[in-house]
Amino acid sequence: MKSANKFALALAGIALVASGLQATAAKADSAFVSDISWSTLYAKTGDGIVEQNRNIFDAKGVLQVNDSTQHPLVWVRIDVTQVTVQYNGGAAQANKQIQFVADNAGQKYTFADDISAPNKIVTTDSMGAAKVTYTVTGIQPDNYLRVGIADCDYINNKTSCPLYAKNKNADLGGPLIIQWEKPGYYPIIKLDLQNSARDVYWDWSEFKNSWVGERSHVYIKTYPVGATIKLPYIVSDIWGAPIADYPINMVAQSAYCGGNIHCKWANTPSNLSTDAEGKVTFIEINKNTPAEACKNIDPTTKKRCGIGANFQPTTNQIPESSDIFWPQFVNSMTMNPASISYRVVNRGGVVSPSGNDVTVNGVVNPPLPLSSGTSTSDASAVKTVLSLSYLYNNAKKVLERVPLYAPDVTVTSSPGAYVLRVCPDTVNQTDCHNSGMIFSRDVTGTSQMSASQTFGYTYPATLMLVSTVPGTATFTVKVGNQIYVLKQDFGSN
């Protein structure tokens, strides 16, 4: 925030020009609302209008909806000349009076509202809601409007307000600070994770935006030392529009790797510009060796054989938001075979209670129908589940046993066969959509599938397997350094 932060919470009462009849004038005999907390005051978002959401939680994971720093700002693109502020008090505040208080002190632009009452007091509806729309003229970058709510006639007679004797501003809620800026304002740099957004996502960063930064998340993933990693980003402004041809600098940690060993990287570009869609991809090549990884000792846990790093892109602008990536490089990705379970759970719609076989009319694993680019179903598919019960490598010494975050799983199919990672049937639809995946029942053809697929493991993965050619199809699953082969028969249609 710029100069608007210098103002106190009290809003100066000023005469406003009525421009319509959208807000309902207050009834003289109505009582005022009794809740003007932050949880009741919001702006109506839309194209070119974004409200701040710091997403602050307490130690127990409870969203702090009444924290005064949770959403005090509204960013508006400079071509947008109307903004609506809303009060949502709930049914308990139905048919009561509320006053909207606005102030643009020190600004050269003009504004008007759509409240007909001169005292700016309106009556809430049957759901305890009220709103006001402000129209601005002559707006410039960095101009702002402050809008609050009051449970009394704060503008004309604040000394009559119920809590005035204790605190002259206690009967005033807010204010929301509505600030206008040019397109491109507040770059947001997000990792482009496509269909596997949660595969390398640390949930705790959702609750720590007061630390990692607004709209930022922390991602972590384990790789073998010497690996090449791709970090694709999408850069947009605060309103979601891509920012093209914008220089991005990648800040990489090298001197400190979570212990006493330096991170080593190949000489790759650390300064790139976004393309026409606001996309940019950094390639990072690790040059550390297994021996160096095992010389590295974590000063806190005394564990070894793992090297941590930190990558954070920046536009070198203020404000900005960027996702943080914490790759970990280890000397070995080999896991204990006992911790890996991979089996058929459903074949052609028939459940396999154990093992990999199903029996239909006395026949064990009869050939399944063939699929095509536009035709497939659960009746022609094998569904398998991969579960990893212990996400550590298989080092014999405890201090060399390193956790593996979202280790890569690669599934490859023989010619004519296809694979797709799908949502488990027991997952609800919202969670499925949020994951970027679909249910097997939503697959209508192999055009939605792939000959191979790679994803980071964080929870049991359901894989749908089909084939377009008769005979035995082979599916190979590689987890870390372990390989599992599944052969299934398919017949002609």
Q: Are the CB atoms for 416 and 467 separated by under 8 Å?
A: yes
Q: Are the CB atoms for 335 and 390 separated by under 8 Å?
A: yes
Cα–Cα distance, 237 to 241 (Å, whole number): 6
Query: Other C-beta atoms within 10 Å of 270: how many?
Result: 14
CA atoms within a 13 Å half-sphere pointing along the CA-CB vector of 235: 27
- The answer, yes or no, to whether residue 304 has pLDDT greater than 60, is yes
Categorize the per-residue pLDDT at 262 as very low, low, confident or very high, splitting at 50, 70 and 90.
confident
- In this structure, the chain runs to a length of 493
Q: Are the CB atoms for 402 and 392 separated by under 8 Å?
A: yes
- The answer, yes or no, to whether residue 194 has pLDDT greater than 70, is no
3-state percent helix, strand, coil for the chain, nearest multiple of 5: 10, 40, 50
Cα–Cα distance, 296 to 255 (Å, whole number): 13
In the chain the domains, ranked by start, together with CATH numbers, are: 3-181 (no CATH), 188-330 (2.60.40.10), 337-490 (2.60.40)
130: which strand partners?
87
Burial class (CB in 10 A: 0-12, 13-18, 19+), 317: exposed
Cα–Cα distance, 304 to 175 (Å, whole number): 52
For the question of whether the overall pTM of this predicted structure is more than 0.85, the answer is no
Assign 209 to helix, strand or coil: helix
Cα–Cα distance, 295 to 348 (Å, whole number): 51
pLDDT at 202: 66
- The answer, yes or no, to whether residue 198 has pLDDT greater than 70, is no
Percent of the residues in the chain that have a pLDDT greater than 70, as a whole number: 90
Cα–Cα distance, 175 to 89 (Å, whole number): 16
Phi and psi at 155, nearest 5°, equal -70, -45
Percent of the residues in the chain that have a pLDDT greater than 90, as a whole number: 68
- The answer, yes or no, to whether residue 155 has pLDDT greater than 90, is yes
Categorize the per-residue pLDDT at 37 as very low, low, confident or very high, splitting at 50, 70 and 90.
very high
pLDDT at 47: 96
pLDDT at 61: 77
**pLDDT tens, position by position, 423-473:** 998 888 888 887 778 999 999 999 999 999 998 888 899 999 999 999 999
Q: Are the CB atoms for 417 and 382 separated by under 8 Å?
A: no
Q: Are the CB atoms for 37 and 203 separated by under 8 Å?
A: no
pLDDT at 10: 35
Assign 205 to helix, strand or coil: helix
Give the DSSP H or E segment for 292.
helix 290-295
Side chain identity, residue 167: N
Cα distances (Å, whole numbers) of residue 150 to 131, 147, 162, 166, 246: 13, 10, 11, 16, 44
Sign of CA dihedral 293, 295, 296, 301: positive
**pLDDT tens, position by position, 86-141:** 999 999 999 999 999 999 999 999 999 999 999 999 999 999 999 999 999 999 99
Q: Is the peptide bond before 319 cis (omega within 30 degrees of 0)?
A: yes
Q: Are the CB atoms for 184 and 178 separated by under 8 Å?
A: no
Sign of CA dihedral 207, 211, 214, 217: negative
Lowest-pLDDT range, 27-36, 324-333, 337-346, 366-375? 27-36
Whose structure tokens read 């280890």? 330
Q: Is the peptide bond before 175 cis (omega within 30 degrees of 0)?
A: yes
pLDDT at 14: 28
- Dihedral angle at the C-alpha atoms of 106, 113, 160, 175, nearest 10 degrees? -60
Query: Other C-beta atoms within 10 Å of 486: how many?
Result: 18
